[in-house]
Structure 1
Amino acid sequence: MSSTKPAYLQFNNVSKFFPGVKALNGVSFDAHAGTVHGLLGENGAGKSTLLKILGGQYRPDGGHLLVDGRERHFTSAGDAIAAGIAVIHQELQYVPELSVAENLLLGRLPQRLGFVNKAEASRLVKQRLNLMGVDLNPEAKLCDLSIAQRQMVEICKALLQDAQVIAFDEPTSSLSHRESEILFRLIHDLRAAGRTIIYISHRLEELYALCDACTIFRDGRKIVTHPVMSEVPRDVLIKDMVGRDLSDIYDYRTRTLSGERLIVKGLKGASLTEPQEFSVRGGEVLGFFGLVGAGRSELMRLLYGVDKRTGGALVTLDGVTVSDKGPSAAIDAGIVLCPEDRKEQGILAQASVSENINISCRRHDLLGGLFLRHKREAELADQFIQRLKIKTPHRNQEIRLLSGGNQQKVILARWLAEPHLKVLILDEPTRGIDVGAKNEIYRIIHEVAERGCCVIVVSSELPEVLGVSDRVIVMREGRISGQLERAQANEAAVLDLALPDK
C-alpha cells in the first residue's frame, strides 16, 4: 500500500558519471517511512550506484539527496551511518580473519584495560542474534562460514546499527529458504517500526511479497515509479525493465541428444556422504537441484578438481579418462566451471574485461612462447562483449567496475572462448542477475548444448532448473537422491526428492 506520510527519503535529479558511462542520469523518486520501496532494473541500470551514493561511497555529480527533509552531502560511509543510514551491498564487505562478533561490532568493540573484551563482544552479539532469530556462532571466523552465513552476518551488521533507512542490495542471493524467511520477518518488523526500507532484487516473487511501491531503472534513468506494486502485472514490470516482451524467459529448445559423453563413477570427497555416479549426454542440459548444504557445489568442485577426491573415482569424457590433477587438467580435457562465488573464485578483480576473457585461452595464442597476440585478444574480447551484450565502456575497463551480472557474463565469455569446450558447468549462473540478462544466459546455454556439448546447471532456484533442463538430478544431504526426465520433473516431484526424510 502507498503511504500518506511525508517522504522520509528523497532523490532529486541525482546523477553520477564515470569515464564513458552515465551510471545515473537525473533520477528522482521518494521513499516513505514505514514502507518497503523496491528498485528494479537490469544489471548496470544504476540501482547499486544509487545505493553507493546513499551510503556515502560515491558523491553525486548532480542533484540532491534529502533525508527526513534535510539535504545531505555525505563524504564517507561514516557520514551516512551517522545520519542513520545502513546499506547492505551485494558484494559482501567483511574481515575474513575476524570472528562474527568482531565483524558485527567493528569500530565499537567493548574494551577492558585497553584491550578488546572478546567475551563481552560475544555475549552482546549472541544476545542480539537470539532476538533476531539468527543462528550464528559469535566466535566463528568469517572465513570458516558459508557464503549464506556471511550474507546473514552482513545483514545483521546493518540491523545492529539501528538505522532509520536500511537499503538491501540482492540480500537473498546466497541465502537458504529458512534464512530468507528470517530476513523477510525482520523486514516486516522494521517496516512496522517505521523504518524506510529500500530493497533491490531480481526475484519478482520477493518484490511482490515485500514491497509497497517500486521504481524501475533502465540505462541509468528512472523509467517509472509504481506507487502500489501489488497492482502492477508481472509482464508490465518485465517490459518496463528490459524494454521488450519476454514471453518465455527460459528459451527452452528441444534437441536430439547423442549418447553419454561425460561419465562419472565413484566420485567422493570429504563433503559427500557416499560415492556419486551420473552421466551427461551430448547436447544435454543437466540440472542439479538441492537445498543449501545438499552438496551440489561440492560435487562440481570435485569433478573440476578444485577439491581433492577420495576413493577410486573414475571420470571419463568421450571414453578418455580425465586426470584428477586439478582444474588445469580438467580445462585441458574440455571441462570448465563458472563458480558459485564469482567475486572470490571467478574474476581477476584488478584486471581488465579483456584480460578476464582471454586469461585461459591465451595459452593457445603464444608466439614463440614469448609474445601474446594482442590484436587477437582484442578481437576476441570485442566479439564476446557484443555477443553476450556485456555492458562496459570498453574492453580495457577493470572488471571490478562492472555490475555483478556483467562480471558473470565475462566469466561465461572466458569459457566460451575455449576452442575445445566439451563440458560447461554453471554453478548458480544467474545469481544476482536481472531478468533480461537471465534470458540472454539461457539462450547461450541452449546454443552451447546445440553444439553437442554437455551443460550442467547447478541452481537453488527451482523454476530455473525446471525451465532450462532436459533432465534434473536432485541432491539431498551429500548424495544424489534421484533424477527426473523433463517430462516428469515438476516442483512437487523435485521437492519430494530434495527434502529430508521425516
Structure 2
Amino acid sequence: MTDQKSPLIELRAVTKKFPGVIALKDIDFDLKKGETHVLLGENGAGKSTLINILAGSFPPNAGSYLINGVAAKGLTPHKARLSGISPVFQEFSLAPELTVMQNMFLGREIRRLGVLDNAAMKVRAEEVLSELGFEINTEIKVGELSRARQQMVEIAKALLQDVQVLILDEPTASLTDSEAEKLFELVERLKTDGCGIIYVSHRMAEIRKIGDRVTVLRDGRKIGTVTCADTSDADMIEMMTGRKVDTLFPKVVQKPGKEAMRVEKLTSSCGGVKNVSLTMRHGEIVGIAGLVGSGKSEIARLIFGLESIATGAIFLAAKTEIRNPSPRKMLRNGICYLPSDRVGEGLAMDRPIRENATIAALDTEKFNLRGLMRRKNERDAANKVADRFSLRPLDIERRVEALSGGNRQKVMLARGILRDVEVFLFDEPTVGVDVGAKAQIYHIINELVENGAAVLLISSELPEITNLCNRTYVMRLGEIVGELLGDEVTENNVLNAIFDDHTRMKPDAQVPA
C-alpha cells in the first residue's frame, strides 16, 4: 500500500540537453514509499536519461530534483547511494577480472584497522545472495559467469546497503522465469518495507504483475502518468508509440525451400552442446527454445566459429562441408550471426553508426576497390539502411554508444543487410527492446524470409517462437529434446518439452505441475 505523503523523490520541470539533442523536456515525476512506479517508452524516449539523472550520473540543465523534500544539489552517484538510491542499469558495471564478492563491494569495501576484511565481505555477500535466492559462488570471477548470473550480481550489489529507492532497468532481460519470480518476490518485500521501486520494462505482463503507476515518455516528453489497474495494455502502448498497435507480429508466410544449412551431431569442446543435429531451409524461420543455460545460444556461436567444436559437421546447401568455421569464413559463405550481447560482442560502441553498419562488408567490391576504401559508397549505403530502419536521430556519424538499445540493435541488423547473406543466426534479437522497435525487427526478419533467406531464431521469449517460427527445436541441458512443426509450435508444447523428462510431446499437452 502506498504512502500518499511527501514523495521519496520528485522531479519538477526537468530538462536535459546533449549536443544537438533535447533528451528530456519539462519532465515531472515522483516516487512514493512502497510503490512500484514503471517507466514506459520506446527506445530513445528518454527513460535512460531520466534514471541517470535520478542516480546522479549527470545533472539536469533545468528544473529541480528533490530527495525526501530536500533539493539534490551537486548530486553524484556516490552521494545518491548515500541517500539510499541504488540503480541497477541494463548495461552492467562489473569488472570481469574481479570476483563476485570484490565486485559487490567495489568502492565500499569493509576494512578493519585499515586492512580489507575479506571474511566479513564474503559473509555479507553470501547473505545478500541467499536472501535473493541466487546461488552464486562469491569467489568466482565475474567474467566467468553467464549474463544471467552477472545480472544477479548487479542486483545483489545494489542491495548491499539500506535502500530507499531501487532503480531496476530491464532487470529480467537475462533471467529465467523462476529467477524473475524471485525478483518479483523481492520487489514486493521491499515495497512492504517502504522502499520505492522505479522499474523500466517493455514487458507488459511484468508491468501488470508488479506495477502501481506508469509514467509514459515519448520523444523526451512526458505523455502522462496512469495507474496500472485502470489502464489497458492497448492504451499504454498507444501512449508510448503515438499510434494504435493492432498486432505486434507480422503475418509470416513460410515457404520452406531448399536446404540452406545442416548441422550433424555437433558437440562443443566445453561440453555445453551435445550431439545436436538440425536443418535450416530457405524461406523459413527455425526457432531454438530453452531455458537460460540450455545451450541454445552456444549453437549459433559454434556454427559461426566463436566456440570450439569437438565433434560434428556443418554443411551448406546440403553438401558443402565447412571445416574449422571462423567468423570470416562464415561471412564469406553467406552466414551472419547477431549476438545477444550488443555491447560486449555486437558493436564497437565508440565508433560511428556508419562503421558499425558496414564493417562486415568492407572486404566486398562494393566498398573496397583493390585495397582502397570506396568511402562514398560506404556513406550512401549506411544512410540508406539507417533510413530504412528508421534510426533516430538519422546521423550515421553519431557514435553507437549514444543510441538507445533498440537503435543499437537496428545498427547490428544493418550489418547483415549490407552483405550478400543467405543464413541469419539471431540470438535474442529483441532483448531490451521496446514494443515499437520489436515490431520493426519482426518485420525486418519477415522481409528476409520473404526474400528467401534462412533464419535461425534463438529466443527466450515464447511469443516470438510461437508467432514467428515454422519449426522449433527445444533444448535442455545442451541437447535437443524435441522438434515441433507448424501448428505444434505452441507455448504448452514448448514448455512441455523443456520440463518433461520423457521428452514426449503431444499437441497442446499440458505443462506438468
Cα deviation for residue 3 of structure 1 reads: 4.9
The answer on whether the counterparts of 1:272 and 1:299 sit within 8 Å (CA) in structure 2 is no
The residue correspondences of 1:129-140 to structure 2 (distance < 5 A) are 129-140=129-140
Counterpart residue number, 2:267: 268
**1 CA distance for matches of 2:486 and 2:230?**
34
**2 CA distance for matches of 1:367 and 1:159?**
52
Deviations 1:64-98 (A, max 9, x none): 11111111124421121122211111100011111
1:412 alignment partner AA: L
Counterpart residue number, 1:76: 76
1:301 alignment partner AA: R
Counterpart residue number, 1:494: 494
After superposing the two structures, state which structure 1 stretch, 81-90 or 313-322, moved more.
Answer: 313-322
1:268 alignment partner AA: T
**Runs of 4+ residues deviating >6 angstroms:** none
Counterpart residue number, 1:32: 32
Counterpart residue number, 1:235: 234
The answer on whether the counterparts of 2:295 and 2:476 sit within 8 Å (CA) in structure 1 is yes
**1 CA distance for matches of 2:368 and 2:96?**
41
The residue correspondences of 1:194-343 to structure 2 (distance < 5 A) are 194-226=194-226, 228-269=227-268, 270-272=270-272, 274-317=274-317, 319-343=319-343
- SS of the residue aligned with 2:481? strand
**2 CA distance for matches of 1:273 and 1:94?**
27
Change (3 A) 1:164 1:367: closer
Cα deviation for residue 118 of structure 1 reads: 2.5
Cα deviation for residue 350 of structure 1 reads: 1.1
Change (3 A) 1:74 1:205: farther
**2 CA distance for matches of 1:366 and 1:40?**
40
- Structure 1 residue runs of 5 or longer lacking an equivalent are none
After superposing the two structures, state which structure 1 stretch, 249-258 or 362-371, moved more.
Answer: 362-371
Change (3 A) 1:2 1:405: same
- SS of the residue aligned with 1:53? helix
Cα deviation for residue 324 of structure 1 reads: 2.4
1:88 paired to 2:88? yes
Change (3 A) 1:263 1:177: same
**1 CA distance for matches of 2:346 and 2:273?**
27
**2 CA distance for matches of 1:312 and 1:494?**
26
**1 CA distance for matches of 2:155 and 2:374?**
45
Counterpart residue number, 2:400: 399
**1 CA distance for matches of 2:318 and 2:357?**
27
After superposing the two structures, state which structure 1 stretch, 349-358 or 117-126, moved more.
Answer: 117-126
1:164 alignment partner AA: Q
Change (3 A) 1:296 1:347: same
Cα deviation for residue 406 of structure 1 reads: 1.0
- SS of the residue aligned with 1:359? helix
What is the alpha-carbon root mean square deviation over aligned residues?
1.6
Change (3 A) 1:46 1:52: same
2:264 alignment partner AA: K
**1 CA distance for matches of 2:385 and 2:61?**
32
**1 CA distance for matches of 2:66 and 2:110?**
33
- SS of the residue aligned with 1:390? coil
**1 CA distance for matches of 2:160 and 2:241?**
36
- SS of the residue aligned with 1:183? helix
The residue correspondences of 1:348-387 to structure 2 (distance < 5 A) are 348-364=348-364, 365=366, 367-387=368-388
Counterpart residue number, 1:167: 167
Change (3 A) 1:306 1:40: same
2:387 alignment partner AA: Q
Counterpart residue number, 2:511: none
- SS of the residue aligned with 1:487? helix
- Structure 2 residue runs of 5 or longer lacking an equivalent are 503-513
Cα deviation for residue 500 of structure 1 reads: 5.2
The residue correspondences of 1:419-430 to structure 2 (distance < 5 A) are 420-430=420-430
Cα deviation for residue 274 of structure 1 reads: 2.7
Cα deviation for residue 2 of structure 1 reads: 6.2
Counterpart residue number, 1:416: 417
Deviations 1:37-66 (A, max 9, x none): 001010000001100011111111111111
2:194 alignment partner AA: G
After superposing the two structures, state which structure 1 stretch, 79-88 or 45-54, moved more.
Answer: 79-88
**2 CA distance for matches of 1:389 and 1:74?**
37
Cα deviation for residue 255 of structure 1 reads: 3.3
The residue correspondences of 1:181-196 to structure 2 (distance < 5 A) are 181-196=181-196
1:80 alignment partner AA: A
Cα deviation for residue 367 of structure 1 reads: 4.8
1:392 alignment partner AA: P
- SS of the residue aligned with 1:421? coil
1:265 alignment partner AA: E
Change (3 A) 1:178 1:23: same
Equivalent residues, number: 500
> Percent same amino acid among aligned pairs?
37
- SS of the residue aligned with 1:197? strand
1:82 alignment partner AA: L
**1 CA distance for matches of 2:46 and 2:323?**
44
- SS of the residue aligned with 1:155? helix
